[in-house]
Structure 1
Amino acid sequence: MRKVILGVAMLATISLASCKNEAKKETETETKTKEVAMTTAAFGVRGNCGMCKSTIENAVKGVDGVASADWDKLKKQINVSFDDSKTNLDAIHNAIVASGYDTDKFEGNEEAYGNLPGCCQFDHNMEMSLKGDVKPDEKSNH
């Protein structure tokens, strides 16, 4: 009788340990599926000043799936990080274009460009995605 009781007790202990391990595995799987691989990209965007920076970055950050946006006034370039399962580069370019700014892929919306403050109305021929050391333009210190 003692052997039977001891055997039953051991079986119950093993079953409980097994259930705990299965629950732990499910929790680990849930955590892993929530991790998202972010895509980063950099491309040219024309603009002049701090107000341009704000408008461009806000336009990009308004796109669902964008994690970060940083426009470099001197290099005329934006760096973006986004979830490519929710958005793509064309959607990001289109958000910038809709706010009136040119990208290296598309020209800005003319009506939106016309509504930009005077200091933000950039030269449509300015170079973008400048490399190396860039000297600030005295006219663009807004």
Structure 2
Amino acid sequence: MKKVILGVAMLATIGLVSCKNEAKKETETKEVQTEQTTTKEVAMTEATFGVRGNCGMCKNTIEKAVSGVDGVASADWDKVRKQINVSFDDSKTNLDAIHNAIAASGYDTDKVASNEEAYGNLPGCCQYDHNMEMSLKGDVKADETSNH
């Protein structure tokens, strides 16, 4: 009889230990959730148009004005050709906003005349001829390529 009671007691102990280990294993199991983010690809619009200006300071001012427009990814004004290449998200801005930003900084574009007060506040080397040609093609005269 002692053997039977001892055997039952051992089985009960093993059962408790076994249940205890399983419970412990369950609490140690962690669920890992991952979040997937979807990235919306934005199609960039590129445009090139004429902008009057003279020198490196003009380049900085024009590009800074364009880069300040929400949605503009890049702006590169070509001093020799008197034109700017712009890349922008057309769901956030448009060409009119970009032309207006340039004009507000004191520079004429091929669509919008500059703000006269802003033009008057430009440094002397940046006060360009309002009749200057823009978006020059082909060969450019040597005097137009000089640095200011």
TM-score (norm 1): 0.76
Residue type at the aligned position of 2:140: V
Match 1:108 to one of 110, 114, 119: 114
2:65 matched residue in structure 1? 59
Q: Tell me: CA distance 1:41–1:139, structure 2 relative to 1, closer, same or farther (3 Å).
A: closer
1:42 matched residue in structure 2? 48
Write the mapping of 1:1-142 to structure 2, written as runs, cut at 5 A. Answer: 27=36, 30-31=38-39, 34-137=40-143, 140-142=146-148
CA distance in 2, matches of 1:55, 1:109: 14
Residues 80, 145 of structure 2: 8 Å contact kept: no
| Partner SS state of residue 137, structure 1 | helix
Residues 74, 136 of structure 1: 8 Å contact kept: no
For residue 132 of structure 1, report the CA deviation from its aligned partner: 1.6
Indicate the percent of aligned positions where both proteins have the same amino acid: 84
Unaligned ranges ≥5, structure 2: 1-32
**Deviation per CA, 1:5-53, whole angstroms, max 9, x where unpaired?**
xxxxxxxxxxxxxxxxxx99x948x13xx21000000000000000000
CA distance in 2, matches of 1:53, 1:87: 21
Residue type at the aligned position of 2:100: N
Unaligned ranges ≥5, structure 1: 1-22
**Deviation per CA, 1:51-101, whole angstroms, max 9, x where unpaired?**
000000000000000000000000000000000000000000000000000
TM-score (norm 2): 0.73
Greater C-alpha Rg = 2
For residue 134 of structure 1, report the CA deviation from its aligned partner: 1.8
